[in-house]
Chain A
Amino acid sequence: MSNEIKALTMPKWGLAMTEGAVTSWLVDEGVELREGEEILEIETTKITNVYESPVAGKLRRRTVEAGQTVPVGALLGVIADASVPEIDIDAFITKFQEEFAVEAAEAGASAGPEPQFAEAGGRRLRYLVMGQGEGAPLVMIHGFGGDLNNWQFNQPALAEERTVYALDLPGHGGSVKQGIGGSVPDLAAAVRDFLDAVGIDRAHLCGHSMGGAIALHLATEEPARVASVTLVSSAGLGDEINMDYIEGFIRADKRKDMKSVLEKLFADSSLVSRDMVEELLKYKRLDGVPEALRTIAEATFPGGKQGHVLADRVGSVGVPVQAIWGEVDEIVPAGHAEAIPEGSRHVLKNAGHMVHMERAGEVNRIISSFVTKAS
């Protein structure tokens, strides 16, 4: 029995999110929740996702109605043991709401952590750091055409127990676009320079797609600096790659074209929102981006195949490696996960290439326990 009262608050998914709309509650008041149980659905301008209970306990109160839009950090509900008296719950809610109103008035409660820049080996790289913790931090590396916002459903949750960095690779997001090398070793060198620049000796790496190949390459080159590698829908484990996607992404400069390209990334293509499409078009309009993407695609996928396959190095790298995949990945086939020993690979049903967005809760638990074990 515990007297602890736990607040459920509107999460911040991605740099641009300031508020979210509760589209539906999936559980009733009074229900005993398991940790990780899906409790409500939240819609932002970019994507709809389920919010999972961060703790086990009884859902004592729902403080917002379905259909309401509230700022990041606002109270959604309250979890506490059945033994906690109603009067304490009421007092907790009143106090929370008063303090939240003051905070919001003072600073804008949704401000959250802001991205920073590092000068890494002469390249200006953007990154976002969240959380605190002893030991090696986790560094998250997005894939081709992505940026640090791709981890919007993962970084905050994983940062509850450790320091988590997410960076923009050269040619991506807010990082330098001009004069970059495009091969996996080039990009791995940029990540190594980033670790040097922010003073990280040793890190757990988590890479998505091309970012996975980069993480694996870095582990083979500098195993002493890598505590573990999590490969999400990863490149680097086989030679197939969906070049229609890569070419389509580089070419798309109209909303309609970009939308149909992005739909390949998800098992549920309705997740591709207007804002997600617009965000990527905005990125692609930046000076130097089309050239940078072309440079990377030519160096990384020469002749329409992955040019840097490290599958046979996984066993000898001397660093724990795991893989997470969406079963219906249309970009890198889920069969590539078989390069990783059976106990260390997780292929999730009903998920596509962006498995870390579509099945964020499950992916976060898999990453978290793996990283904890490898620490």
Chain B
Amino acid sequence: MSKKSYRQALNEALAQEMRRDPTVIVMGEDNAGGMGAPGEDDALGGVLGVTKGLMPEFGRDRVLDTPITESAFIGAAVGAAATGLRPVAELMFVDFLGVCFDQIFNQAAKFRYMFGGKAVTPVVIRTMYGAGFRAASQHSQCLYPIFTHIPGLKVVIPSSPYEAKGLMIQSIRDNDPVIFLEHKVLYDEIEEVPDEPYTIPFGEANLTREGDDVTIVAFGRMVGFANKAADMLEKEGITCTVVDPRTTSPLDEDTIIEAVEDTGRLVVVDEASPRCGMAADISALVAQNAFKALKAPIRMVTPPHTPVPFAPQLEDAYIPTPEKIADAVRQVTFWRE
């Protein structure tokens, strides 16, 4: 056990699985860096360094630098998965999804179903998401609701270093296509992470706080914000249960419903755009299954329905904050007809 960053936790998960299973490969733009050029080998390790050090240990056959053509190399990864490898492909920013969407939603997601269960597609697509990086509207979106919408994909949103390692190993061992979303602002978060390999099962929510008054469901980076809000509110005498679903597909509906049945109030926090998002989805789930338990209307804390602004002040105003979450919790706690 030692303290590791989110980045190190992911790197360790990839390295340990590559050691354990020779069919695991990684591929993506500058996943090593330096291929075919004079100068430093393994110069980059992806844009933010997650795959650094893998090429020297596992070689160019298993750590592939790809051209800047997501449509080609995501397709190649899906094909490699269908024919026996376990590729971990890096779709650098999730915003680039558009150019390789057919490969993901019409091919990878459908193989098992279309071939009568006789084909598996054990591909992991790692991708960065989220605002707060001053990277403007084409490099800051969440977009996981789009993947969650498609049956056949598994969608994983780790909220901390411990979660990142265990969920990555589970993703690699899973036989279905997994979209693995890494929030770029979390890479330097640090916590205790076991040195040994371990797996966190999909579809099993984590309760990061347990309280009596309000249930907060939050995703990815927002889990930490929800925890901060819960800690602030505890000093005011309001205690919260914070649910981190970990995966939006499969979704641990039971834990969410049970948590709301215990507290009677729900706040959903999502960094994705509000229309057709997880906040609306969870709200509908609870309204349909736990209506009688509700003591107040459900509140959603999301950004406005706009592109992510580039101006730093506007970007900060766009992203949900612990204060906004705490305000929503107070509103449902003290709600009167």
Contacts and interface: CB of A to CB of B under 8 A. Distances in A.
Interface of A: 16, 174, 177, 253-255, 274, 282, 285-287
Interface in B196-223: 196-201, 204, 207, 210
Nearest to A284: B198
Given A174-B1, A285-B166, A255 B198 contact: no
Given A255-B207, A274-B210, A287 B197 contact: yes
Contact of B196 (A16, A177, A254): A177
Contacts of B199: 285, 287
A351 to B, nearest CB: 26
Contacts of B166: 285
Interface of B: 1, 162, 166, 192, 194, 196-201, 204, 207, 210
Nearest to B252: A254
A124 to B, nearest CB: 11
A286 B201 contact: no
Contact of B198 (A174, A253, A282): A282
Nearest to A274: B210
Contacts of B197: 286-287
A282 B194 CA distance: 9
A285 B198 contact: yes
B200 A285 contact: yes
A323 B196 CA distance: 36
B192 to A, nearest CB: 8
Nearest to A253: B201
A287 B196 contact: yes
B207 A274 contact: yes
Interface centre among B166, B196, B200, B204 (most CB of A within 10 A): B196
A286 B196 contact: yes
Contacts of B207: 255, 274
Given A254-B204, A285-B199, 7 more contacts: A16-B192, A174-B1, A253-B201, A282-B194, A285-B166, A286-B197, A287-B197
User: Which A-B residue pairs are the 9 nearest by beta carbons?
Assistant: A285-B198, A287-B197, A286-B198, A286-B196, A274-B210, A285-B199, A285-B166, A285-B200, A287-B196
24 contacts: A16-B192, A174-B1, A177-B196, A253-B201, A253-B204, A254-B204, A255-B207, A274-B207, A274-B210, A282-B162, A282-B194, A282-B198, A285-B166, A285-B198, A285-B199, A285-B200, A286-B194, A286-B196, A286-B197, A286-B198, A287-B196, A287-B197, A287-B198, A287-B199
A248 to B, nearest CB: 17
Contacts of B210: 274
Contacts of A174: 1
A37 to B, nearest CB: 32
A369 B199 CA distance: 44
Nearest to A255: B207
B186 to A, nearest CB: 19
A16 B194 CA distance: 13
